[in-house]
Amino acid sequence: MIENIQLRPPYPVEAVNPLSVVPDPGEMGQMYIGAREAYPDGMTLACASPHKPYQEVVAAYAQESQEPGFSDVAFFNNNFAVTPQDEERFVTEPGLTLDEYTLAIRSRFIRPNTELGYSDTWLPYDLSVAGAGRFCGQAYLWDGYHIAIGYAADGRWDLVRNIVDNNEHQINQFGHPLNANAIFYASRAQPDYVSHEVRMLADRFGPEVLVRYLPMLEKDHMGYWMDGIHELAAIPEDGKAHAYRTLVRMPDGTFLNRYWDDADGPRLESYKEDVELGELVVAGLSGVARATRLEKLYKDLRAGAASGWDYSSRLFKDGSNLSTINTTDLVLTDHNSLMAYNEETLAMAYEAAADVSGDDRDKCLERAAMYRKMASQRVATINKYLWDPEGKIYRDYNFVDGHQTAIVSAAMTYPLYVGIANAEQTFGVAETVARDLLYPGGVIATTTENSTQQWDGGERNGTRSKNVWAPLNWAAVRGFARMGHILLATEVGLDVEPLFQLAEQTRNSYMNGIEVAYDKYGVIPEKHRGDDPARLANGGEYELVKLLAMPGETYRAMMHLNVRDAADHLPNRRSS
């Protein structure tokens, strides 16, 4: 256990345009389809190292692919080296308890920054990678936070600091934290928990942490998520929504956010899947109509990957089929709750800076007030567009068509998680979760839908299940407990005991699901089935990743979490 750390200055880096590093396969895109005959996962191809500069390989493909007897598999094997995934290093000796296993395996998910491959963006400190198999190479944004909560529970603040400082490096280099530290991810982010990580450190080591990371937090939020705010605000009011990159001006002139990816075309790591879906979607179209539809589809697929829910029926226009994905038309409940938390954190950081800034005190307080106002306005806009007063749940909103979507999802717990719900909203969400999403094997399922997507029930070989993921369960447990303590302190006479009981039930269910899966398989998979955790979960565009760091570290955080501890949940300690 390492309880003390020293804050480090930002690691020097020059700013880079993300689009300048994203690989463009050009005509070689066909190779990423054909070479899949020999490789089961597109991530293997995307992470491969070329034997000569990438553009020279692209040029070679353009020439050689025209020759008789050309083979995409042979070309790939001749021009790229595949990095062995070495999954065995993630498997520990048998006979360990789950508590022992999660501690024993932790170091094997930490990758020295001196061992990065061709496709990886360099980071100054050792990486907490997401898992084995498909995700063994990179540190992912929202995985990192849910790994950090396990580190924090065990007092490994040195490892939490590494995650935060690596995120800071990405923000200073690319303008935002990356989906993960790979060049093919450089054009998009993921659910942004950087402010949560900073607040974790601040809760433990004091408000000077907020001041230290203030420039990074502001660059991330205002420079990326709120980019275009002045231009959008200047558009004459016309009762319509207008969007630029991640930012959406709603019809009433207020602002929410959407997920976005600045790059175009198929994702390199899922090239074959994206191209095949594109051919299905544009069947019968030609010319401009075909090109426009394909451009929109690829942008929505990329933005859907940025959401972390890749993929879910909540991102589909018809609520069922991936071919109707319309991520860039949606403002999502969980996303905008995290953005409100960013703004609250920035206000806190400027208030902390005011205490030590001397002559700049008034300026700091002015900035703090600005962010408090932004957060308040966002909460009001969330309540206007995302709260369903009849169903008494939060829903996503299609700002292009002008209506809430129909999908019931666990994203509704995020306003509780960040502490912005009122009593009616809290109890409405709690009732729906307990009735429709809570399973004895673990818990908060993603949606009420059954589909072939891994962020729904998931279906493979005719079997359907209710898939369970760590982030949604952490948000639900923390959300029910947090709002229980907030309402207990602010609503005289209100019975909040059901919220604490639901938090405990959800916590225990999630932990039980992890324990059952571990007892059966000896590992902690990326997701498990809520209805039957003894059976492996399924669905999605890639095979189940059987070793993932995030659920194990979330389990450790759950072990240490006392939902009835007011000091850990009241507003002055809303950290994680």
Quickly state the pLDDT bin for 574 (edges 50, 70, 90). Answer: very low
User: Would the pLDDT of 463 be above 70?
Assistant: no
Interacting residues of 435 by C-beta distance below 8 A, sequence separation 6+: none
Q: Confirm whether 113 is domain-assigned.
A: no
Q: Give the domain extent around 552.
A: 408-576
Interacting residues of 380 by C-beta distance below 8 A, sequence separation 6+: 254
Question: What b-and-e string marks burial along 438-465, b requiring 16 or more CB atoms within 10 Å of the CB?
Answer: bbebbbbbbbbbbbbbbbbbbbbeeebb
Q: Confirm whether 31 is domain-assigned.
A: no
> What value does the mean pLDDT of the chain take?
92
Q: What is the dihedral of CA 382, 501, 431, 420, to 10 degrees?
A: -10
Q: What is the bridge-based pairing of β-strands 49-50 and 387-388?
A: unpaired
Q: Confirm whether 397 is domain-assigned.
A: no
Q: Confirm whether 481 is domain-assigned.
A: yes
For the segment 159-176, the average pLDDT, to the nearest whole number, is 98
Quickly state the pLDDT bin for 575 (edges 50, 70, 90). Answer: very low
Interacting residues of 259 by C-beta distance below 8 A, sequence separation 6+: 188, 246, 303, 304, 306, 307, 327, 328, 332, 335
| Residue 89 pLDDT | 67
Listing DSSP states for 64-107 in one string gives HTTSTT--HHHHHHHHEEPPP--GGGG---TT--HHHHHHHHHG
Q: What type of residue is 123?
A: L
For the segment 480-489, the average pLDDT, to the nearest whole number, is 96
For the segment 438-444, the average pLDDT, to the nearest whole number, is 72
Q: Confirm whether 503 is domain-assigned.
A: yes
Identify the residue whose tokens are 């005509």. Answer: 27
Nearest CA among 245, 14, 25 for reference residue 119:
25
Quickly state the pLDDT bin for 68 (edges 50, 70, 90). Answer: very high
Q: Confirm whether 73 is domain-assigned.
A: no
In angstroms, rounded to a whole number, what is the distance separating the alpha carbons of residues 110 and 113? 9
In angstroms, rounded to a whole number, what is the distance separating the alpha carbons of residues 328 and 36? 29
- Rounded alpha-carbon distances, angstroms, from residue 38 to 28, 31, 33, 320: 17, 11, 10, 31
Tokens at residue 489, please? 């302190």
DSSP 259: -
Span 299-347, pLDDT tens digits: 999 999 999 999 999 999 999 999 999 999 999 999 999 999 999 999 9
Peptide bond into 350 cis (omega under 30): no
Q: Confirm whether 78 is domain-assigned.
A: no
Q: Confirm whether 38 is domain-assigned.
A: no
Find the distance separating the first CA and the last CA of the chain, reported in whole Å.
20
Q: Domains in the chain: how many in total? A: 1
Span 194-246, pLDDT tens digits: 999 999 999 999 999 999 999 999 999 999 999 999 999 999 999 999 999 99
CA atoms within 13 A on the CB side of 328: 19
